[in-house]
Structure 1
Amino acid sequence: MTMPVPTTTEAALIMERCDELATLSRSAEHLERVHLSPEHAAANAVVAGWMTEAGLSSWQDAAGNQCGRLEGATPGLPALLLGSHIDTVPDAGRYDGMLGVLVAIAVAARIAGSGRALPFALEVVAFSDEEGTRFGTALLGSRALAGTWDEAWWELTDSHGISLFEAFQDFGLDPARLPGAFRRPEQLVGYLEAHIEQGRVLDDTDRALAVVTSIAGARRFSLEMTGMAGHAGGTPIELRRDALVGASELVLAVEALSKAHGTIGTVGRLEAFPGGVNVIPGRVEFSLDLRAETDEARDGCWEQIERTAAEICSRRGLSFEATEIYRADAVRCGLGLRRAIGAGIRSTGDGDPLAFYSRAGHDGVAVSAVTEFGMLFIRCAAGVSHHPDESVREDDVAAALDAFEAAVVEVAAQHVALQHAAAAPATP
């Protein structure tokens, strides 16, 4: 049996590995690693080496996810999944997703090194695409694992016109073999993920860790406001059908309606056409990302946004079109896995763990279609994420590692208790 490595040393190693993964980027100036890219392949290879070093057998599945497995008390048992994603947004930080993968590998290494026989297998998965940066549809890696793949996605294209089908082939994957990545409910015990909060609740309360209760429901839309282009000098203000002014009014309405409904509405992209300095914009394309703790609040806000757009168009002589491009309904974490995460946090000395919902989406949204999931949040400085200033504390990583291992042990105890209860003779 190998001697345990001190937690602080393990946390330092995790931080170093986050730094190493950050070097695998399409750009030397900033971190960007997208689905089925050469950088994705390089990251999979590095992660596979770390999985093997931890005592796991490792393979790349038919969707490009990098997986590792540690057998339980007997070979072939259902698996408790641990993991997160290794793809990034453009100009990313180095902890979003990657930290969760590395914490999972470190926990698996501890279990393997201890000789502890779990009543299930332990699998670590580094999901290939959570962000949706390249093909515009998020959670491709975890949706493949969950068996909820949509055949229409094969026709999605990136900014260079390469289809998802072609990208699979270029990566060395066979689209016809994608079902090999699918998991069945009976193969899984659950899914646990450690992730930076991507918010500031923990930082504002000076806490290291929290239990995630649920993940917000999200909808994304491609929006278009159309008016009439015209000469900036020759068209009087009162006769203009300015699409940019109408779109701007709707953007402000999104902010006001989000506050009123307790939702989170974001217009992250806006482009005016034809784009001349002295031309009235005749058309505007813009995006909307709408999130809420419940689907009812999210959808109610969207209905108000649609009504507001119609009123703006009627008043300004414009037209409006909305196309939904992504939808993920709110999902709740499994109660047993929430209790396990809470027990893990308490094992670090936090006797009253914080618990709140995640406003950001995560792979658990997709995995919930095939098994229950639980999440551990880790503090990130000022809640900054999807940005190079993303930052975590080494002592928080050490605490997260201890908590995550304790959560796995608690899930094992729950699993054994359920097995005993199922085997007990019925009371006459």
Structure 2
Amino acid sequence: MRRARRAAASAGASLEDAREALRRCDVLAGISSMEGGIERVYLSREHAAANAQVSEWIEGAGMRAWQDQAGNARGSYPGATPDAPVLLLGSHLDTVPDAGRYDGILGVMIAIAVVRRLHAHGVMLPFAIEVLGFADEEGVRFGRTLLGSCAVAGTWDPAWLDLPDGEGVTLRNALASFGLDPEEVASAALDPATVVGYLEAHIEQGPLLLDAGRPLGVVSGIMGAKRFDLAMEGEAGHAGGVPMRHRRDALLGAAETAIAVEQVALEHGVVGTVGQMAVLPGAANVIPGRADFSLDVRAATDADRDKAWEEIRARAVAAAGERRLTFTEHLRHEARATSTERRLSEAIEHGVTVATGEREPMELLSKAGHDAMAIASLAPYAMLFVRNGNGGVSHHPDETVTVEDVALAIDAFEAAVLAVAQRMTDGTPA
């Protein structure tokens, strides 16, 4: 009976922690540049306000709060010794336009909740903990994803300082206007020798956990991605005056390529998306002379991704040739496929088992990109997925999680952190 009462009290505390985490997601959802929706981009006023609010929560959890020169919100919780290495926990605080309120943000709130528990119980671990609210995972403003986590990983490219946003403001000038020193971004980097690893909790950006009836899942790796700016150029002309067989319609070449993307993706078991298309001159009575469009292609391995791209490219070139068009391509973004580290994933698996009682937690490959991809250059990583309701929709206002699932996620994440600590105490590498 006493054990049952303790379990009930623990469950009640977890639900309260989950309610607070979700309340905080709601607070951040209100920090937005978009009327009636959520949008918070890198180095904006909303970014600054979100960092200030998160810093308050970090300090309330017993950490020292600070902001690095890349604009990441960070919190430090000391280890048992002054020279202890550090375990990183976190996710991102920026959003896409018209976003949901949990993608990235929930992971930061779960990390803070775990440290708050440790601090409340006076727990000191054989490593320090650093919570990271990454500043720019989505890449909305400057077209380059993972800027915040690349800075921490030590892979920041100074050439990115010349990237312009949609209004022509360079990243260099935006950093300076934000109160940061563009020449000091590299100071955000951590020394790989001091980092135990990185754990990230994130909503699943898909329906697999939902379909399986599982609240939590263990990530096995993240797909490699390439993103291109593509164009077909032909000749504009009067919609009534140019005979059909004489036309060099750029939109038709782009449309054929978009259909080819779907066909190749299905044939090769990859994912491909044409998410943007712009037609010039753009008048109803003018044949399109140019079509600019995007391509995002992802696969479990870089080799599979690149093979699919080469076939898409070949079909685009063929479509251009048949229609007397010029096809051009520009690689905008590339991220290699990564795998989680076995021992850290075992810690996440242990956490899921402790929280849910599942003896064999569900394993998933992430098709979406995450800050963990960049941190993989710095340290090993593992990830926990939280069930996403409403069909698994993400990057959309209808993102949904339940308080019960979030409570389990906080319990699982805490158990994972403690499992990593136990390994170090036992003398086993994390």
Same fold (TM over 0.5): yes
Are 1:362 and 2:362 an aligned pair?
Answer: no
Say which of 217, 223, 233 aligns to 1:226: 233
Are 1:113 and 2:132 an aligned pair?
Answer: no
* Other-structure match for 1:402: 411
* Other-structure match for 2:3: none
- Counterpart of 1:278 in structure 2: which amino acid? N
Q: Secondary structure at the match of 1:388?
A: coil
Q: Secondary structure at the match of 2:426?
A: helix
Q: Distance in 1 between matches of 2:318 and 2:124?
A: 64
Deviation at 1:418, TM superposition (A): 3.2
* Other-structure match for 1:31: 38
* Other-structure match for 2:19: 12
* Other-structure match for 2:80: 73
Q: Secondary structure at the match of 1:347?
A: helix
Say which of 377, 391, 404 aligns to 2:400: 391
Deviation at 1:415, TM superposition (A): 1.8
Deviation string 1:227-250 (CA, Å, 9 cap, x unpaired) is 111110011111111000111011
Q: Within 5 A, what are the aligned runs for 1:333-344? A: 333-344=340-351
Q: What residue ranges of structure 2 are gaps of 5+ in the alignment?
A: 1-8
Deviation at 1:151, TM superposition (A): 1.3
Deviation at 1:28, TM superposition (A): 2.4
* Other-structure match for 1:426: none
Q: Distance in 2 between matches of 1:39 and 1:341?
A: 33
Are 1:317 and 2:327 an aligned pair?
Answer: no
Q: Distance in 2 between matches of 1:269 and 1:317?
A: 23
- Counterpart of 1:142 in structure 2: which amino acid? S
Q: What residue ranges of structure 1 are gaps of 5+ in the alignment?
A: 423-428
Percentage of matched positions with identical amino acids: 51
Say which of 244, 248, 251 aligns to 2:255: 248
* Other-structure match for 1:188: 195
* Other-structure match for 1:217: 224
Q: Distance in 2 between matches of 1:184 and 1:304?
A: 40
The normalised TM-score by structure 1 is: 0.96
Q: Secondary structure at the match of 1:88?
A: coil
Q: Secondary structure at the match of 1:323?
A: strand
> Which of 16-25 and 181-190 deviates more?
181-190
Are 1:138 and 2:145 an aligned pair?
Answer: yes
Q: Within 5 A, what are the aligned runs for 1:255-294? A: 255-294=262-301
Q: Distance in 2 between matches of 1:329 and 1:175?
A: 26
- Counterpart of 1:328 in structure 2: which amino acid? A
- Counterpart of 2:395 in structure 1: which amino acid? H
Deviation at 1:276, TM superposition (A): 1.0
Deviation at 1:342, TM superposition (A): 0.2
- Counterpart of 1:364 in structure 2: which amino acid? A
* Number of residue pairs aligned between Structure 1 and Structure 2: 419
Q: Distance in 2 between matches of 1:179 and 1:151?
A: 9
Deviation at 1:373, TM superposition (A): 0.5
Say which of 161, 168, 181 aligns to 2:168: 161
Q: Distance in 2 between matches of 1:404 and 1:342?
A: 10
Say which of 357, 365, 380 aligns to 1:372: 380
- Counterpart of 1:177 in structure 2: which amino acid? E
Q: Secondary structure at the match of 2:427?
A: helix
Deviation string 1:345-396 (CA, Å, 9 cap, x unpaired) is 0001122100021000000000000100100000001111000011101100
- Counterpart of 1:115 in structure 2: which amino acid? G
Q: Distance in 1 between matches of 2:422 and 2:263?
A: 48
Q: Distance in 2 between matches of 1:149 and 1:338?
A: 27
Q: Secondary structure at the match of 1:82?
A: strand
Q: Distance in 2 between matches of 1:178 and 1:105?
A: 24
Deviation at 1:413, TM superposition (A): 1.3
Are 1:51 and 2:44 an aligned pair?
Answer: no
